[in-house]
Structure 1
């Protein structure tokens, strides 16, 4: 089973423009993410996929692999799918460019999903982490996920799900972490499908996979790293780096 990592890297992020090139302890955020993926030694190859000459130059100058997008894309999966069409691989891991502290244990768990899926029933695997802080639960920047008894995703939302109407019921909340593992065919099927209504409303690409019938296995992790969506997150990341 050949496994590669793809890191989509869009320069003009709407919430924090140019964030992937912001300095994080002497290196750009995107370079730190690339090196973190490379250092796991889990992948045959690691690539950054970008529309930006600035990012391309940053990664290339560090000896990294870069693929330039030739089309405009709405989300990371589309960007990766274009890049991976002509690459021979079985499994593609999508590592978010703004997740520089992703850990090897979590990535290994995603890969194990496919090694153990003898019947090839799972199309994607992704990570979730339990959140208990009210502010984190209500924050729309944190995508929440609910699953069935087999840990297959039911739905993703920026809203609070589930809604806790009966306060006597013990409900757990999970945040979706922006790391995916795909079968290559699932990724290409996604790429050939226009953006779906719910995906467009929520701005969550995982929903498109669900709307076209793909099964997403969620793996719980206790490792809560620092994703960087805002300038405030970058300051948290700098403190995290110094631990």
Structure 2
């Protein structure tokens, strides 16, 4: 099983145009993501998947690999499907999808989803990461997607609302979703063909499409948070975190 990590990156963003190239301590954000991912064990290759020449040039400038995808890709999964088709991956190969706005990703978290597939070959086609929320303000912030899972760590639901919500008390763990996915190449093809889900459309969460159509998403709980960059203010927070680290 070959393991390839893809970092989808778009230049256009309504809230933060040019986000992948935003400098963090003198390096473009996409370089931080790429370099941290490269520390993970078990990866054969890493590529940035983009349709933008500016991102392509920035990645090649620091020695990274790029696969150019269609500008017509309707979703992140469509971009991944385009990339793995171009790369000619086999059905049994593993694809890691790491969002390009996670410059603080811990490589051990990436290794966790690879381990899930190594320990349970053929039992599921898709996996992802969760993290127990420790910051009170994140609990009711829709930017931080919450998740619940069963006793076997199969995802039950993802929501922008706080779940589970206690009737009598909320003194229980709440987990947020981290933007790292892993799937077999075969499942990427299946996922890309699924129609838009009703719940997916309401919550604007693409991973709900798999659950709505009866596919399991296996969950690993990470010991490391991986905050996403959505605004210029988040850049400053990342720089503060890196200064501490």
TM-score scaled by length of structure 2 = 0.93
Shift of 1:31: 1.4
Q: Does 1:180 align with 2:181?
A: yes
Runs of at least 5 residues in structure 2 that lack an aligned partner in the other structure:
none
Q: Does 1:153 align with 2:155?
A: yes
Structure 1 CA distance for aligned equivalents of residues 130 and 186 of structure 2: 23
Q: How many residues align?
A: 241
| Structure 2 partner of 1:124 | 126
**Does the residue aligned with 1:229 lie in a helix, a strand or coil?**
coil
Counterparts of 1:1-243 in structure 2, within 5 Å, are: 1-86=1-86, 87-89=88-90, 90-118=93-121, 120-167=122-169, 170-243=171-244
Shift of 1:226: 2.9
Structure 1 CA distance for aligned equivalents of residues 60 and 49 of structure 2: 12
Runs of at least 5 residues in structure 1 that lack an aligned partner in the other structure:
none
* Cα contact 1:121–1:215 (8 A) shared by 2: no
Structure 1 CA distance for aligned equivalents of residues 211 and 74 of structure 2: 17
Structure 2 CA distance for aligned equivalents of residues 28 and 214 of structure 1: 36
* Cα contact 2:8–2:97 (8 A) shared by 1: yes
* Cα contact 2:139–2:162 (8 A) shared by 1: yes
Structure 1 CA distance for aligned equivalents of residues 135 and 176 of structure 2: 11
Structure 1 CA distance for aligned equivalents of residues 137 and 164 of structure 2: 15
**Does the residue aligned with 2:139 lie in a helix, a strand or coil?**
helix
Structure 2 CA distance for aligned equivalents of residues 202 and 154 of structure 1: 15
* Cα contact 2:50–2:66 (8 A) shared by 1: yes
Structure 1 CA distance for aligned equivalents of residues 135 and 46 of structure 2: 34
* Cα contact 1:186–1:214 (8 A) shared by 2: no
**Aligned CA-pair RMSD:** 1.5
Structure 1 CA distance for aligned equivalents of residues 222 and 23 of structure 2: 28
Q: Which is further off, 190-199 or 148-157?
A: 190-199
Structure 2 CA distance for aligned equivalents of residues 160 and 121 of structure 1: 29
Q: For residues 163 and 42 of structure 1, do their structure 2 counterparts lie closer, same or farther at Cα, with a shift above 3 Å needed?
A: same
CA deviation map 1:170-223 (0-9, x unaligned): 421000000011111111111112322211221111111112222111111121
Structure 1 CA distance for aligned equivalents of residues 184 and 226 of structure 2: 25
Structure 1 runs of 4+ with >4 Å offset: none
